[in-house]
Structure formats: structure tokens, C-alpha cells
Amino acid sequence: MIGILICQIVVSIILACFFLFRPSLTRTTDWKIGAFIGLFVLPGLCIVGGMNVHVQRSETTRFCTSCHVMIPYGQSLYIDDAKHIPAQHFQNHRVPANMACYSCHADYTIYGPLKDKMAGLKRIYLQYVSTPPDPAAIRIPGGFKNVQCLHCHLGARSFEENPVHTALMDSIKSNQMSCLSSGCHDTAHDIANLGHLKFWKPVQ
């Protein structure tokens, strides 16, 4: 994908170079069409293609953990303990491993991806302009919403047939009771105790 886009960009640059050094070429109709393609159509497609690549890239686990404050969160995905919900999902591919962060933290609404990108820009501002927060002190504004879990689990047999889930289904769906409540699935990204935990080492 990136290779094709870079080829398109290079072709566009070559075409634009003609009009930079020989603008008089546009006196003929053929070169007028060439100018339209080289200075309007191709650059426009390059913007669209570039935006697409960058948006897709920003959804990858590697991208999320490339910020310093997110490194411990990336490490927590390798904790060797089935009680750690993010690690369990990541290691068993219950979410795509290359999009682990985005799968659970995306806003699954119409304007969700746009809101996520705006929030990402705010985090970049905090990282490079303001003071970055302490990784252990990071909290999701408004708390982790059940809809993130239900996006995948709702309708799944193992979830629906669990007697605890069945009894509390209304509270879970209305977000009155969090999935991360104490006694339920309460261990997620245990950053504070990362030094004392055992880690899983993938074969590769």
C-alpha cells in the first residue's frame, strides 16, 4: 500500500517538475491536461492516500506504544497471567494483535474515529509541548465503557450463557455496572506492579 502510494507521489513529483522548470509547456492543450493531472488530480489523490495510510497506521499497536508513556501499557500485554484482561485478549488473539489497543479503546460510533484522532492530537500536544502524564496515573475520561466490551462479546454464546452475565445483563448494557468492577474483570494494565509480574515470551 505504502509502496504504491510512494510510486504515485514520485510520478506526481516528476510531472510537477516539468511545470516548475518549463511552465511554458502549458501553451499546448496536451500539456494543459498534463498540468491538470500533475497539479490537481494526482496531488489530490496523494493527500487522500496519505491520510488513509496515516489513519490506518495510527490504529496499530506498534504506533500506540511508540509514545513513551504508552510503553508500559504495551509491556502489560505480555503479562503471563490469565486474569489480566488486556494480556489475555492480546496473547490469545481475541483481538487482532496488531490492532490490540484500538480494538478495545476505539469509540464505536459514527464520529468515533474522528474523536479518537482529535484525542490523539491532544496526547501529542501533551507529549511534546506540555507535560506528559505519569503512565500509572493515566485514566480514561469517564471510565472504560461497557460498550467497548459488548461490541464483541454481546451475542457470543460464552458471554450470554454465563449465569452472572445473565443476571446482570440490564445493568451491564446500561453501563450501571462496569465490566471492570471489583470481583469481576478488574485487572487491566497493572502498570504499578509491572516489575513484579512474569511475562510471556512469544516464540518469534
Partner 1 sequence: MKLSNIGIRRLLQVSSALVIAGLLLEIVSLLWFHPLSFVLFAFLAASLIALGILVYLVSLVFVVEPSADEPNLSSSSPETSNRSS
List residues binding partner 1 (CB under 8 A): 2, 5-6, 9-10, 12-13, 16-17, 19-20, 23-24, 26-29, 32, 35, 38-40, 43-44, 46-47, 50-51, 53-54, 57-58, 62-63, 66-67, 120-121, 124, 127-128
Sorted by sequence, the CB contacts under 8 Å of residue 166 that are 6+ apart come out as 160
Tell me the β-bridge partners of 199: 79
**Min CB(1)–partner 1 separation in Å:** 10
**Min CB(103)–partner 1 separation in Å:** 19
Give whichever of 1 and 167 is closer to partner 1, judged by the CB atom.
Answer: 1
Sorted by sequence, the CB contacts under 8 Å of residue 10 that are 6+ apart come out as none
Sorted by sequence, the CB contacts under 8 Å of residue 43 that are 6+ apart come out as 12, 16
Tell me the β-bridge partners of 79: 199
**Min CB(44)–partner 1 separation in Å:** 6
Whether residue 79 contacts residue 200, with contact meaning beta carbons closer than 8 Å, is answered with yes
Give whichever of 127 and 162 is closer to partner 1, judged by the CB atom.
Answer: 127
Helix (H, G, I), strand (E, B) or coil at 171: helix
Considering Cα of 147, then 152, then 157, then 158, what sign does the dihedral take? negative
**Min CB(118)–partner 1 separation in Å:** 11
**Min CB(46)–partner 1 separation in Å:** 6
Whether residue 147 contacts residue 107, with contact meaning beta carbons closer than 8 Å, is answered with no
Nearest to 142 by CA among 167, 119, 165, 111: 119
